[in-house]
Structures are given as structure tokens and as C-alpha cells.
A and B are shown apart, each in its own frame.
Chain A
Amino acid sequence: MFRLFFISIFSLFSQLAYSKKSVFMPPEASVYARDADQLYSFILNVSAVAFVLIILIIAYFGIKYRRKTLNDKTPNMSHNFALEVVWTIIPALIFFFMFGWGWKLWNQARHSPNGALEIFAEGQKWSWSFNYKSGRTSTNVVYVPVNKPVKFILSSKDVIHSLFLPAFRKKQDAVPGRYTSLWIQPNKEGEYYIFCAEFCGTGHSEMIAKLKVVSFKEYAKWLSNDPYKGLSLSAIGKKTFKTSCVACHSSDSTRKIGPGFGGLWGSTKQFTNNKSALVDETYIRESILNPNAKIVKGFPKGVMPTFKGQLSEKQIRGLVEYIKDLKE
């Protein structure tokens, strides 16, 4: 444990010494991220200087005015109007400068340019689904073209989620019952994390999606292609599993948030209402579309949300076939 502790301290300082990017921040993937980091660095530098000054002054006073005798005489300095006015106004000016700079960037960050590519993003426990205007949908992965403004229109199916893009220095809550939005203009191709930043229950930390920034050509190709073309039903199921189910279920018999799928097919499940049923096509379909109808013993009710409207018939059939193949 202590070895790890010292290695960590060392790696921290080496990061500080050798990093060229903004201190501690992830890579910048947009112009806005760079602008926001400039403000961040400004506040960081001002804070560091202020902090070091405060501590140095306290240390200096502490050493210089250490008690010498019990009868030390101390001056009766009750106040100094000029000094107090000065140290009220100077921080005030600095604070309001920070506010103004933050406001300016906020305006840029909150108003998407005309003609931005719009993508609907819906959060649900515990995945993100993306819906392009062309009708193309995807789960937990979203492709966007580089150097084009992209606007996500956010909503939520159940509780509050928050779309957080660290590389773009932006996040926005997805609130049930209303639309909110967040826009970015990536300037580097690559793969970036999308975290859920608003606590949304058991699978909150599994709710991680990927943003893929690609060339326009690749984007157009991805948009028009049928992801399941030429795949067997079981392969379609496997793909669906990897995007929609894996946050809570494993492909062997390990328990995650929900039961594992390995060896599930053909087994008999005991439910909380003391009934039991054979795992067949009907049971799997019901568990996907109406998950609270039958709760397996040892699992809490109400955890799994419905996937009605989110998975197509083809995907559900694929999942059934895929589960048939999974062994313990």
C-alpha cells in the first residue's frame, strides 16, 4: 500500500513538471476547451499566488512574533480604515474580472451557431441513445464529423442524467420532461469519453459512452451504413448486448447489477412472488420490454428500466439468439 502511495506522489509531481497542457486537465479537443483552460489557468495562478502569500505571511508572523515572555506587550491596533478598504477592493476587482471572463465564455458555450448538426441524445438508466435526423440510431457511441458544430438535444426517459464531455470542458443535465442542449465543435479526430455526471442510481458509474470524432467522409459512411448488414441474428444480439446490456449484465454467470446471461437459456428461474418459469423466448422478450413483471429472487424490484421503443424487433430477436449461445 505504501509503495503505491509513494509511486503515486512521484507520478503526480512528474506530471506537474513535464506537462505542457493546462495543469491536471485532460487534452483539449475544441477551441472552446482551450479558451476555458486559459481562464482556468488564470484563476489557478491567481489562487496559487494568493495562497502562497497568505501562508508565507502567517509563517513569518508566527516566527517573528513568537511569545518571548509571559508579559509581552502587544500594540492596541483595532483597525485601519485605509488598509481595510484596499484589501476589500482588490479581491473584489479580481473576482469580478473572473466573473466577466467566465460570462463571456459562457455566452459562447451556450449559444450554438446556426446550421449545427443536431443529434438527439436521450439518457436512461444506464445508457445514452443517440438519434440522428436521418433516422440512424445508436447506443453509447456517437459519431460526429471533425470541425463541424454539433448540437446535442438532451432529454431523459427516467431520472436526471448529465452528459459530460471532459475533453470539451462541457456538461449539461438531461432532465425528464424537458429538452436541454449542449454544443461542441471538435477540432481533433479521436475517441472521447462521455460520462454521466448526475447521480442516477446503481449503474451510474457504468453509464459511459464514447464520442468518435472522425473525418466527414467516414462520418457520412457511418451514417448511411446498416450496422447489422450481413450479420447473423446472434451476432446482432452480441452487438446489442455490448452497447445496451453490458452496463448491468455479464455474458457469463457473474452477477453485476442484474443476473449474468451465461447458462440462462433453458434454466428455471425463481421469482420474488414464489412462482417460477422456464427461460424461453417469451420470458426474455418480457424481461426486456416489461422488466418488473417478474423479478428474480435476490434482486431488487424497479432497477431495470424498460427498453420498449429503444431496441428494434431485430435487436430483441438477436438478443434471444445470443443468449441461447451463452454458456455458464
Chain B
Amino acid sequence: MSDLLGKNYINCEKGLWSWLTTLDHKRIGIMYLIAIVFFAFLGAVFSLILRYELFSAGKDFLTALQYNKVMTYHGAIMTFMVLVPGIPAVLGNILLPLQIGAKDVAFPRLNLLSWYLLILGAAIAIISLFTTGVDTGWTFYAPYSTGSAQSGTIFVVLGAFVMGLASILTGLNFIATIHQLRAKGMTFMRMPLFVWGLYATSIIQIVATPVVGITLLLLVAERVLGVGVFDPKLGGDPILFQHFFWFYSHPVVYLMVLPGMGVISEVVTAFSKKVIFGYKAIVYASVAIAGVGFLVWGHHMFVSGQSDWAGVLFSFITMFVGIPTAVKIFNWMTTLYKGSIEFRTPLLFALGFLFVFAIGGLTGLFLATLSTDMHFHDTYFVVAHFHYTMVGGAVMAVFAGLFYWWPKICGRMYNELQGQIGFAFVFIGFNVTFFPQFILGAMGMPRRYFDYLPEFEHLHAVSTVGSTIVNTGMVILFVVLYRAWKYGEIAGDNPWNATTLEWQTTSPPPHENFTKEMKVTGGPYDYA
């Protein structure tokens, strides 16, 4: 970092040790970013291996067991090590205190501890690669996971447990920060929508994560000590595991997508230079999604053997999640109306989010409806649906946020053309990869198949080509961001003329964010 940028959080201390012991939320955010980019790279390598194995029917270069391990690692890494910590821990850490005008989060030491817990958990999970590995799928369904699955399962499950602790502490920290450290005059209804997204997410982290933590420990207890909880041979109930698991793992998809929606709200307003339409509606929709999200886990289990009535209730409640989601999409659309729209990379990602997330949401209707789900459950339709919501939701939003805030984070501007090329690769590649999978699912191709019938081959080939394009795009985007950090032009404090608090300090911000105390007198998006 040259002197051109003045004294800031990056150059105020030097050396690796100063990073590893830092309590500065921005530095911790950067460390999360580096760790998660590494994990995402691992997860992407696994995804490419499995896509190329599936390129043509029949066995190609993996055995069935190896395929199952690759499929499991892809899912477990992407869920527990990339998506769950992704937006909250990277963008949330860097931006939350800045957006509410605070010096740091409420508990800086706890914040650093969360990072070390994530690394510890990830290390435990990755150690399993050097044992027999894990072949359960990321869902760890009992009694397969507690019985005949590979013994590396224990490591991954314990790793996920430790990473869960990191997630709980981050949520706790954010809630305390939002309640205690807002600038003078910033009422709850004046908070930026990204902060609201993080608030809703933190509630899910605190309430849901302990449940999965205990479930994972019970799984290990059954597997190692023979305590009968889930396996009917030991007097347990395998469907109980599914209830416990989805009680966390359904809200967790909102954990991934809610802060992403927050990012989209910030980006859409900044690049249409217009106040957000329906601020309160978006706030209530976020909280509603987080709340109702706890009551719909059974829609993963319509054909699991749970009672028919439970299925009816869960289908009914699930429809309530669709409503606030639709409302949010309408709000973003209307924000564009009569705006002054500038097509920069962050906005392209935000519009890409709307495109992809609309498909993800609408295909959710097929799965929420009881009788159609009987056909689509556990087929490629589900695989396509959750990649559209989670990759579309989270990854598009992560890139929208990274490109939007990058000038704030490192003080330098990325290359616009290169950013747009990267977007094109990711957007086109993503749709080419996953759209054919909807069709495969409708045709009846079950998920987690190492081999498949010849009639599915064409669409699998298309999907594999797409996965190559999307991964190329990811590499391009990270190179663009890295080059901006190293060689980018000086961006200035507020290159987008945005109105939220983080743009009123210098870029990059100084160690404690603001040189004077911030006062808030109006809403977050005063563009008019």
C-alpha cells in the first residue's frame, strides 16, 4: 500500500503477526476473505472433478466410492466453509461497524476468536481427506452416517460442529453491535438494509446453530460410543435426525441469502441514485423470512415417512416464505423506476442476482407444492433449485458487494471492463450449468448418482461445459480484484456518490473508522 492513500487500517501496522493478532474488524474481515477464497477454490475443484466424471454416462475416471466422496466434499465445503461464513463474516465484518458509524464490533476479541474457530473447524474437516474420507453427502443422513459410511465422517462432523461455534459467536457479536453501537440518531428504521439483513441472519445463527451442533454431537456419540439415537438397530429413529438436521439446515439457506439481499438493496439504490422503494416492507420481509424460515423445515421431508398431516402443514407454511421474497423482488424493480441507472459491475451482479434468484424462487413453488414435490424430491430439479437460490443468491450478491465496496476496502478502483467480462462468464456459465439440471430432474434423474441412463447424457454434457465457464469466470473476478488491490487507480472516498455512512470516511478507513463522531439525521438512502 503506497503512501498515496494516507494512514489507514492496512498500513498502520506491518507484518503477518500484526494480522494474526489484530482486533480490527476490517482486518479480520480480510482474513475471513482470504480463508474463504481458499475454501471456495477447494470446493470448486471438487465440483469440476464431479462434473467431468458426469460428462458422459458410465464410469470415466473415478470409482463410485471416490465420486461419492468428491460429491460430499463439494457440498460440505461449500456449505459449512464458504456460504455460511461467506457474507456475514467477510462483508458483514468489514461493513457493519462502518455502516452504523461505530469504531469496531462490540466484542473485538470474540471476533478474532471466531476466525480461529472457523480455521480450526475447517482444519479438522480437511484432515479427513487424509483418512478414509467421507461419503455421506453433506446432509449426513443416519443410519448411513452412523453405520456403514466411511470413518472420515467423524472428522467432518466434528469440524462442522466447531465451525458452528464460530458462526454462533459472530451472530452474537453482530446483534450486540447493532443494539449498542449505532451512531447518534441512527434509529432502527434508519439503518442501512445490509445491516438489517445481517441482523436477521444473526438471529438465525444464534437460534438454529446450537440445534445442529447437538445433532452432530449425537451422531458422533452414536457412531463412536454406540449410543442409540438415530439407528433403529439401537432403538433410535432415523427420521428424528432429519427433523434435527433440517431445523438448522433450512434456516441456514436464509442465513446465506438474507445478507445477500441486503447487499442487493445497497447496490440497487447506489447505482440508480434513488431512495429504496418500500424500506419498511423490505425490513419486515427480512425479519419475516428469518422467522417463518424456522417453521418450514419439514418440506424437505414430504416423502420421508413423516405424517401426511405434517406434510400438509409444512407445505402451507412454506408458501408464506414465497410472499416476502416476491415483495422484495418487486421493491428492487420499482427502485429502478425513474432512477439514474449506471451499469457498473456491482449493478450487473445485482441484476444477475434478480434474474437467477427469480428462477430459484419460482422453481421453489414446484417443491413447496405437495404433489409435484413427490416427483421432484431428490432429483436434479432440487439440485438446480438450490444452486439457483444459494449460488444465485449468495455468490452473485458476494460479488456485487465485493466490487461495490472494494474501493472502500482497499482505496483503489477495479478495472471496469475486466469486471464486466468476469460477470459475463459467471452469469452465462452459471445458467448453462444449472438450467439443464431442472430438465434432468423433471425427466426423473435422481441426485447423487455416480452413473446414469444414456438418455440423460446430452444435458449432463451441457452442464459440464457450463461449469467450466463459470469457474473460469470466478478466476477472472478474483484476479481483477487482486490487481485492483495491487495496481488499481486511487478511488477516492466516495466514488459512487453513495449516501450510507461508510462512504463518509476515508478510503481505506483509518484504524478506528471515523475521525469524528457520526450523527445521523435521516434515512440511509437520501438521494433525492
Contact = CB atoms under 8 A, between A and B. Distances in A.
B238 interface: yes
Interface in A169-226: 169-173, 175-178, 180, 193, 195-206
A51 B362 contact: yes
Contacts of A178: 232, 305
B465 A166 contact: no
Given A51-B358, A74-B272, A159-B144, A61 B339 contact: yes
Contacts of B368: 95, 98-99
Contacts of B338: 65, 74-75, 77
Given A171-B378, A201-B135, A61 B333 contact: yes
A103 B438 CA distance: 23
Contacts of A202: 64-65, 68, 135
Interface string B44-87: 00000000000000000001110010000000000000000000
Given A43-B369, A177-B237, A202-B65, A62 B375 contact: no
Interface stretch (B259-267, B398-406, B422-430, B441-449): B441-449
Interface string B268-293: 00001111111111000000000000
B274 A99 contact: no
Nearest to A167: B444
A84 B327 contact: yes
B459 interface: yes
Contacts of A166: 375, 443-444
B452 A1 contact: no
A252 B338 CA distance: 71
A25 B438 CA distance: 11
Contact of B336 (A58, A96, A103, A176): A58
Given A12-B436, A47-B363, A202-B135, A159 B339 contact: no
B351 A206 contact: no
Interface string B373-405: 111011100000000000000000000000000
A11 B439 contact: no
Interface in A97-135: 98-99, 101-103, 105-107, 109-110, 125
B322 interface: yes
A267 to B, nearest CB: 22
A150 interface: no
B281 A79 contact: yes
A67 interface: yes
B490 interface: no
A12 B439 contact: yes
A18 interface: no
Contact of A24 (B443, B446, B453): B443
B329 A54 contact: yes
Contacts of B327: 84, 87-88, 91
B458 A8 contact: yes
A284 B132 CA distance: 28
Given A24-B443, A39-B371, A47-B365, A91 B339 contact: no
Interface in B336-373: 336-343, 351, 354-355, 358-359, 362-363, 365-366, 368-373
A79 B370 contact: no
B374 A36 contact: yes
Contact of A106 (B144, B272, B308, B523): B308
Interface stretch (B29-37, B119-127, B180-188, B312-320): B312-320
A26 B334 CA distance: 40
Contact of B333 (A46, A54, A68, A92): A54
Interface string A54-65: 110110011001
Nearest to A257: B64
B303 A171 contact: yes
B207 interface: no
Interface residues of A, number: 95
Interface in B425-478: 436, 438-439, 442-444, 446-453, 458-459, 461-462, 465
A193 B443 CA distance: 12
A199 B371 contact: no
Contacts of B366: 40, 43-44
Contacts of A78: 275-279, 523
Contact of A5 (B132, B326, B341, B461): B461
A78 B275 CA distance: 6
Contact of A61 (B147, B337, B374, B439): B337
B6 to A, nearest CB: 26
Contact of B303 (A66, A88, A162): A162
Contacts of B341: 61-62, 65-67
Contact of A66 (B63, B343, B450): B343
Interface in B223-279: 231-233, 237-239, 272-279
A80 B450 CA distance: 52
A322 interface: no
A143 interface: no
A260 to B, nearest CB: 14
Interface in B8-43: none
B374 A25 contact: no
Given A1-B465, A199-B448, A206-B451, A57 B333 contact: yes
A164 B315 CA distance: 21
Give the interface centre of A23, A84, A109, A159 by most chain B CB atoms within 10 Å.
A159
Contact of A11 (B303, B343, B458, B465): B458
Interface string A123-157: 00100000000000000000000000000000000
A177 B449 contact: no
Given A79-B280, A197-B377, A175 B354 contact: no
Contacts of A80: 277-278
A235 interface: no
B56 to A, nearest CB: 9
B510 interface: no
A50 interface: yes
A84 B331 CA distance: 9
Contact of B147 (A95, A159, A177): A159
Given A77-B277, A197-B377, A105 B351 contact: no
Contacts of A300: 65, 132, 150
Give the interface centre of A67, A99, A162 by most chain B CB atoms within 10 Å.
A99
Contact of B369 (A51, A68, A98, A170): A98
B462 A9 contact: yes
Nearest to B71: A199
A171 B375 contact: yes
Contacts of A36: 371-372, 374-375
Give the interface centre of B148, B337, B523 by most chain A CB atoms within 10 Å.
B148
A162 B378 contact: yes
11 contacts: A8-B459, A24-B442, A24-B443, A26-B443, A50-B358, A62-B341, A75-B528, A76-B275, A79-B279, A166-B375, A200-B144
The 3 residue pairs across chains A and B that have the minimum distance between CB atoms: A177-B232, A166-B444, A72-B340
Given A62-B336, A98-B369, 10 more contacts: A35-B371, A74-B274, A88-B326, A95-B365, A102-B369, A109-B374, A158-B143, A173-B303, A195-B446, A204-B450
Interface of B: 63-65, 68, 132, 135-137, 139, 141, 143-144, 147-150, 231-233, 237-239, 272-281, 303-305, 308, 311-312, 315-316, 319, 322-323, 326-327, 329-330, 333-334, 336-343, 351, 354-355, 358-359, 362-363, 365-366, 368-375, 377-379, 436, 438-439, 442-444, 446-453, 458-459, 461-462, 465, 523, 527-528
